[in-house]
Amino acid sequence: MPERTDLTALIVGHGEVIEMINSGDAALPVLTQLLQVTQSTLGADGVAFVEFAPTGGRVIAASGAGAWTIGRPLPASDPATVCLLAGPRVRQVRVDRLPGPLAGDLADRGLRHMIVARAEIGGLTVGSLHALYHDGDDSEDATQHAVLSYVASCIAHMYGDQTGLPVHGDGPVVAALADGLAVVDRDGHVRLWNPAAAQVTDRSAAEALNRPLPFPLPPSGQVLDHRLPDGRWLKITSGELPGPGTLRVVTFRDITDQQRRDADRDLFVAVTSHELRTPVTVIKGYADTLTDHWESLTEADRRQAARVIGQRANELARLVDRLLSSATDARPAGDPTVPFDLGDALRAAVPDLPADLRHRLLLDLPADLPKALGDRHTLATVLTELSTNAGKYSPPDSPIEVTADADGQTVSFRVSDRGIGIRPEHVERAFDRFWQGESGNRRGYPGAGLGLYLVRRIVEQQNGWVSLRPRSGGGTVAEVRLPRG
């Protein structure tokens, strides 16, 4: 590790980060810039940030030699996760002494040392910041530790402001920050109003104290869902405080997103019903035409009817497959992962794509691409969903590029378009089930919000990972990484 830390680079770079925030930037662009500043300041070979949720962690931003990890999951069952969440808040570790597959991949790339700092809010870990080095020894540099601790605290502050973070809606920081707390007296007047309460209700402490609670108070031990005048929903609970007096403690949180998800499920049923009904109606119509008018139809008409029936049946089969796959989160008992030719599998999957997509695809696949480790049969589904998504959000005459390459540990391919692009704060939410971005309305960009969710499930079941990012010059890049075979 370098012996000197460039504090000037930290000051200048952090100033640029603050200017980004003041200009309205938030979330991942600011976080990524902050990581680049940290890498330059510490002379690290790479920097990565892992955001933690109840199910584990995921790399949401990285720079330099750590950029390949973006989108990589860190399951709660991974021994490295336990190591990162325990022990001192800032520490230096030898990567080759960490258990788990991610540590092994880092070591295989020559990244053998790292400094780790947890980002915490009120004792709650929201993520961990990693400075990665190829070379170094076991001696510790107090200045480097202090810098990484400082940057981790800055990231925690970004989470506290909730400016586009966390990128995962089920992150533990959401519940912690969204819980408002109030104490009311026997007359229902507010005696305590914490900062989160002000944030949830848009009512400052000065406006709330010594005044009636601005929403109904449920009986002690009960839960109440209440809709505010502005349309937001609160989940409110209350209980009696021990000791003299008749004070009540009230906790509440904004559950608007949960209510929206419930509404989204209803919308999903409606959209799915429509998508099922359309191909079924077309198939029935052409089949009836063939049955009732076979003799009067020309040979060309019959062939065209059969072709349409086949196309619509394929659409219906794909939709049914998506619905069945998304009906459960249980891992299907698919074929075991084996080495396969990724380039050959991608080429073989193209003829099964819808004609409008097939004609737009531009494949640039190296002939010497090494084998990947996974399930070849599922790759057709992955390519179909990614190219369908690219086609839906880009002009109908624009190309969709499929490229591939490999490094020492992974084989990857990318599906790139020149469409409307994806907002940085949506690169993770896009993989949620039933979710569709604000950039696409359901009439202009129809769909049930299942495609990317299925892609992530399929790829991660093969010990790979998938990520989205905005494309330079406009558009979106979807990248899939699988272990080398």
Q: pLDDT tens-digit profile of 419-434? A: 999 988 889 888 887 6
Flag whether 331 is in a domain. no
User: Would you place residue 314 in the very low, low, confident or very high pLDDT band (cuts 50, 70, 90)?
Assistant: confident
Does 84 lie in the same domain as 50? Answer: yes
Does 87 lie in the same domain as 13? Answer: yes
Flag whether 174 is in a domain. no
Flag whether 297 is in a domain. yes
Does 441 lie in the same domain as 464? Answer: yes
Q: Which pLDDT belongs to residue 61?
A: 95
Q: Which pLDDT belongs to residue 207?
A: 92
Domain end: 139, 166, 193, which one? 166
Give 301 or 124, the one with higher predicted confidence.
Answer: 301
Does 428 lie in the same domain as 296? Answer: no
Flag whether 24 is in a domain. yes
What is the DSSP secondary structure assignment for residue 337, as one 8-state letter? Answer: P
Taking 90 as the threshold, does the pLDDT of residue 182 lie above it? no
Give 350 or 77, the one with higher predicted confidence.
Answer: 350
Give 335 or 179, the one with higher predicted confidence.
Answer: 179
Distance, in Å, from the CA atom of 124 to the CA atom of 100, rounded to the nearest integer, reads 24
Q: Domain range for residue 289?
A: 258-326
Does 292 lie in the same domain as 195? Answer: no
Distance, in Å, from the CA atom of 280 to the CA atom of 290, rounded to the nearest integer, reads 15
Give 245 or 91, the one with higher predicted confidence.
Answer: 91
User: In this predicted structure, which of 71-85, 167-181, 345-359 has the lowest mean pLDDT?
Assistant: 167-181
At residue 460, the 3 state secondary structure works out as helix
Q: What is the DSSP string of 18-70?
A: HHHHHTT--HHHHHHHHHHHHHHHHT-SEEEEEEEETTEEEEEEEEETTGGGT
Q: Which pLDDT belongs to residue 438?
A: 47
Taking 80 as the threshold, does the pLDDT of residue 81 lie above it? no
Cβ atoms of 49 and 31 closer than 8 Å? yes
Does 308 lie in the same domain as 234? Answer: no
User: Would you place residue 468 in the very low, low, confident or very high pLDDT band (cuts 50, 70, 90)?
Assistant: very high
Indicate the residue type of 373.
Answer: L
Does 161 lie in the same domain as 46? Answer: yes
Give 440 or 482, the one with higher predicted confidence.
Answer: 482
User: In this predicted structure, which of 174-178, 180-184, 225-229, 376-380 has the lowest mean pLDDT?
Assistant: 174-178
Does 162 lie in the same domain as 58? Answer: yes
Total tally of structural domains belonging to the chain:
4
Distance of CA 444 to the CA centre of its chain: 23
Of these ranges, 160-174, 231-245, 269-283, 421-435, the one predicted with the greatest mean pLDDT is: 421-435
Per residue in 36-47, pLDDT tens? Answer: 999 999 999 999
Distance of CA 449 to the CA centre of its chain: 14
Mean pLDDT (whole number) for 51-80: 85
Neighbours of 174 (CB within 10 A): 20
Q: Which pLDDT belongs to residue 164?
A: 73
Cβ atoms of 102 and 80 closer than 8 Å? yes
Domain end: 295, 326, 357, which one? 326
Distance, in Å, from the CA atom of 360 to the CA atom of 222, rounded to the nearest integer, reads 57
Taking 60 as the threshold, does the pLDDT of residue 402 lie above it? yes
Does 375 lie in the same domain as 278? Answer: no
Per residue in 254-309, pLDDT tens? Answer: 877 666 666 556 545 554 554 566 678 778 888 988 999 999 999 999 998 898 88
Q: Which pLDDT belongs to residue 441?
A: 47
Domain end: 254, 275, 302, which one? 254
Q: Which pLDDT belongs to residue 174?
A: 46
Q: Which pLDDT belongs to residue 235?
A: 86
Flag whether 172 is in a domain. no
Does 319 lie in the same domain as 395? Answer: no
State the CATH number of the domain containing residue 234: 3.30.450.20
* H or E element that contains 344: helix 342-349
Indicate the residue type of 60.
Answer: I
CA neighbours closer than 13 Å in the CB half-sphere of residue 55: 5
Does 352 lie in the same domain as 450? Answer: yes
Taking 90 as the threshold, does the pLDDT of residue 50 lie above it? yes
Place of tokens 């590029």: 401
Taking 60 as the threshold, does the pLDDT of residue 65 lie above it? yes
State the CATH number of the domain containing residue 108: 3.30.450.40
Mean pLDDT of the chain: 83
Taking 90 as the threshold, does the pLDDT of residue 347 lie above it? yes
What is the DSSP secondary structure assignment for residue 393, as one 8-state letter? Answer: T
Give 282 or 107, the one with higher predicted confidence.
Answer: 107
Distance, in Å, from the CA atom of 273 to the CA atom of 265, rounded to the nearest integer, reads 12
Flag whether 228 is in a domain. yes
Does 447 lie in the same domain as 367? Answer: yes
Flag whether 131 is in a domain. yes
Flag whether 18 is in a domain. yes
Mean pLDDT (whole number) for 343-355: 88
